[in-house]
Amino acid sequence: MQVLVTGSSGLIGSAAVRHWDALGADVVGVDNNMRQVFFGPQGSTQWNLERLQADTKRFQHEALDICDRPAIDALFARHSFELIIHCAAQPSHDKAKEIPLLDFDVNAGGTINLLEATRQHSPDAVFCHMSTNKVYGDAPNELPLTELETRWEYAREEDWHGIDEHCRIDRTTHSLFGASKAAADVIAQEYGRYFGMNVGVFRGGCLTGASHSGVELHGFLSYLVHVAVLQKPYTIFGYKGKQVRDQIESSDVIFAFEQFAKQPRPGEVYNLGGGRDNAASMLECIQLIEEISSYTVQHTYSETNRVGDHICYISDLRKLRSHYPEWSIRMDLKEILGRMIETEEEKTKTSVST
């Protein structure tokens, strides 16, 4: 089996590489470390690429730009991909406003390049597109909320499970990142619905894990662990630090892709996050880090919230579970944080010794 993973040195991409390599597939990973371009040295994924190359058996790395249409087409012409896991993106809500053209080229243009190359060369392949809950813009903020001591919470019983796939994606403020990802999301659906290709769209909540190269502008939980371990200052932006996110570990994202690949539903859309059980506010995440470790988080507060940001976002997972009943969340938030703290400590020791 030949598998293509884009963004293969990133959080979800590297998890996909490891998973299908362990199953004996020939895995081609496309990643040109644009994360370092977006976020500077701290955002570099080179360390994760080196780990992949050391730990895998059949992984082949290609330092290609998904915006380079001829190069992507040539890659597909050389291989017979049966599964494409598309994770490459400009991922930052805030960074996009500084680089709007590059953001759109990567997120929207890169996605259609991959979809069209799939249609031309591997039309029967399964294509899993990693989208984002930011396609909903700030529409989720219209739900009535109740302010509790440490979090915002949905006020109505019918909203308890969170945001489902019927939430609108237009007439709302997205950020430029959310808009470019919405364009990619819709075109991916269209390749599934119009062309009948095996394309699935997964609107991620907070994707996280020990392989994340978190920075202030992207990767909230990873960056929070980083500043805790290194005792750096952390800034909370708006909503009293009570904004809620649902955290999903990368292996549980891969589990969803695997289930979809077994029984693809062309053009289908799924919300994919940690759900109600893995939902926590920023204040609660800080408290949990301090509870399970010896670290304290030195945080300050800014009244300025990020434009289009969600106040309370929990992914309603009922559709995904109904279509793929074998899928479930297997790693809870406490275990996620514990593993991330251990990895950050290891990285810190390595950097000090070198």
Contact between 145 and 312 under an 8 Å Cβ cutoff? The reply is yes
Tell me, what's the pLDDT at 148? 98
Half-sphere exposure of 56 (CA within 13 A, CB side): 28
> Does the pLDDT value for residue 218 go beyond 70?
no
Give the residues across from 199 on adjacent strands: 127
Identify the DSSP state of 341: H
State both tokens at 270: 């799924």
> Does the pLDDT value for residue 353 go beyond 70?
no
The mean per-residue pLDDT over the stretch 12-36 comes to: 95
Give me the numbers of helices (H) and strands (E) for the chain, helices first please. 12, 14
Helix axes 110-121, 176-193, angle to 10 degrees: 10
- Compute the C-alpha angle 256/44/226, nearest 5°: 80
Tell me, what's the pLDDT at 216? 64
The mean per-residue pLDDT over the stretch 12-29 comes to: 97
State both tokens at 110: 């890169």
pLDDT one-digit tens code per residue, 232-286 = 999 998 999 999 999 999 999 999 999 999 999 999 999 999 999 999 999 999 9
> CB-based burial of residue 322 (10 Å sphere; 0-12 exposed, 13-18 middle, 19+ buried)?
exposed
pLDDT one-digit tens code per residue, 139-160 = 999 999 999 999 999 999 999 9
Tell me, what's the pLDDT at 290? 96
Contact between 243 and 309 under an 8 Å Cβ cutoff? The reply is yes
Tell me, what's the pLDDT at 352? 62
> Does the pLDDT value for residue 354 go beyond 60?
no
Calpha distance 267→88 (Å, rounded): 19
Tell me, what's the pLDDT at 108? 98
* Mean pLDDT score of the chain: 94
Calpha distance 26→132 (Å, rounded): 28
> Does the pLDDT value for residue 349 go beyond 80?
no
Task: Tell me how far apart the terminal alpha carbons of the chain are, to the nearest angstrom.
Answer: 39
Q: What domains are defined for the chain?
A: 2-353 (3.40.50.720)
What's the predicted TM-score (pTM) here? 0.93
> Does the pLDDT value for residue 62 go beyond 90?
yes
Which of 53-57, 184-188, 269-273, 300-304 shows the lowest per-residue confidence on average (mean pLDDT)? 300-304
Q: Return the sign of the alpha-carbon dihedral for residues 126, 131, 133, 139.
A: negative
Nearest to 245 by CA among 211, 210, 202, 276: 276
